[in-house]
């Protein structure tokens, strides 16, 4: 299977040239359509900055080298204007805190319809239909009525569903999900992960799922990469890594899991 997104030899350094701190060191990862690539590792290991690099969202103080290819297009070094046309359209992102993608003072309906009107050049009525369809798809109850509500009028889990609807609004090929369920309690978390799995299958999405939580990883990832101090120390299918981890750090992480075993796919 060919990769939709290929990260090759990605390195990221912060601080003055020559005396900066390397936070990502020669990372390579391929994302494939219809599969969830997990990226696990302790806090500060470089997971988030890796995902941010894909969308060119790192501050100017970051020195980024290597290659990030979306199909035939090289994203690293691409001018911001051009990158903007890829963000949200071909590569979308959901964050731990859905507020990062939702404006608190604009109704959910306006945010969704503005987004699709702007990117897909839809007429007002078509945009509204699409917004209702998207909210229904992510299982927000009463989607029509939900359009006139503000983000704070929804629960945390519902807000994350709305953020996912925004991310998927333009049918991206790649979804970057950074700790999308970390702020939610366990039952709500399960619902979101279930939804993510369904959407990946249905839309042939290629997903990068960043999480420090191996429980989340074991529930939905097809493939896993384990990151430590900016480097990937082990990669493999979920089954392989959970059943037969090779790197001592992967074993350490697995042993630290509450029930230290692979959970069933939700
Ligand atoms: N803007 C920045 N300037 C300087 N250093 C940064 C910046 N952003 C991130 N870092 C550093 O890069 C390293 C990797 O951070 P990153 O957020 O990717 O870790 P992470 O694995 O996602 O951890 P967490 O799960 O806690 O988010 C950390 O040491 C962090 O302090």
Cα dihedral value 4, 226, 56, 156, nearest 10: 100
What range does the domain containing 86 cover? 3-255
Domain count, the chain: 1
Span 178-235, pLDDT tens digits: 999 988 888 888 899 999 999 999 999 999 999 988 889 999 999 999 999 999 999 9
Residue 265 is assigned to a structural domain of this protein: no
Residue 201 is assigned to a structural domain of this protein: yes
Residue 15 is assigned to a structural domain of this protein: yes
Residue 261 is assigned to a structural domain of this protein: no
Instruction: Name the DSSP class of 151.
Output: G
Span 106-150, pLDDT tens digits: 999 999 999 999 888 999 999 999 999 999 999 999 999 999 999
Residue 260 is assigned to a structural domain of this protein: no
Residue 88 and residue 73 in contact, taking contact as beta carbons nearer than 8 Å: no
Residue 49 CA, ligand 1 centroid: distance in Å: 6
- What number does the ligand 1 atom closest to the CA of 50 have? 18
Report d(CA 199, CA 172) in Å as an integer: 12
Residue 192 and residue 108 in contact, taking contact as beta carbons nearer than 8 Å: no
Pocket of ligand 1 (CB under 6 A): 14, 23, 41, 43-49, 59, 61, 212
> What is residue 15's predicted lDDT score, i.e. its pLDDT?
86
Q: Phi/psi at 71 (nearest 5 deg)?
A: 60, -120
Angle at alpha carbon of residue 115, lines to 117 and 89, rounded to 5°: 95
Residue 220 is assigned to a structural domain of this protein: yes
Residue owning the nearest CA to atom 30 of ligand 1 = 44
Residue 113 and residue 131 in contact, taking contact as beta carbons nearer than 8 Å: yes
> What is residue 264's predicted lDDT score, i.e. its pLDDT?
47
Q: What is the mean pLDDT of the chain?
A: 92
Report d(CA 241, CA 262) in Å as an integer: 10
ipTM of the complex: 0.93
**Which CATH number is 225's domain given?**
3.40.50.300
Q: For residue 266, what pLDDT band results from cuts at 50, 70 and 90?
A: very low
Residue owning the nearest CA to atom 31 of ligand 1 = 44
| Mutation probe of ligand 1 site: the residue of 11, 38, 48 with most atoms within 8 A of C-beta | 48
Residue 38 is assigned to a structural domain of this protein: yes
Residue 263 is assigned to a structural domain of this protein: no
């Amino acid at each position: 299977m060919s990769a939709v997104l290929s990260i090759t030899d990605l390195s990221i350094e912060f601080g003055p040239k020559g005396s900066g701190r390397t936070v990502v060191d020669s990372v390579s990862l391929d994302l494939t359509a219809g599969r969830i690539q997990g990226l696990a590792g302790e806090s500060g290991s470089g997971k988030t900055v890796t995902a941010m690099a894909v969308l060119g969202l790192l501050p100017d103080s970051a020195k980024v080298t290597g290659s990030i290819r979306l199909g035939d297009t090289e994203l690293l070094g691409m001018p911001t204007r051009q990158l903007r046309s890829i963000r949200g359209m071909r590569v979308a992102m959901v964050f731990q805190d859905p507020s990062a993608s939702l404006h608190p003072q604009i109704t959910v309906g306006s945010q969704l319809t503005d987004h699709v009107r702007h990117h897909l050049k839809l007429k007002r009525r078509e945009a509204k239909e699409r917004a209702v369809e998207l909210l229904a798809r992510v299982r927000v109850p009463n989607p029509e009525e939900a359009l006139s509500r503000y983000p704070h009028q929804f629960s945390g889990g519902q807000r994350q569903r709305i953020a996912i609807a925004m991310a998927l609004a333009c049918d991206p090929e790649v979804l970057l999900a950074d700790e999308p369920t970390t702020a939610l309690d366990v039952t709500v978390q399960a619902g979101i992960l279930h939804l993510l799995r369904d959407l990946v299958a249905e839309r042939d999405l290629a997903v990068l799922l960043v999480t420090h939580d191996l429980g989340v990883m074991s529930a939905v990832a097809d493939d896993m990469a384990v990151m430590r101090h900016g480097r990937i120390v082990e990669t493999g299918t979920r089954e392989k890594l959970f059943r037969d981890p090779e790197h001592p750090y992967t074993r350490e992480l697995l042993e630290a899991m509450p029930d230290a075993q692979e959970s069933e796919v939700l």
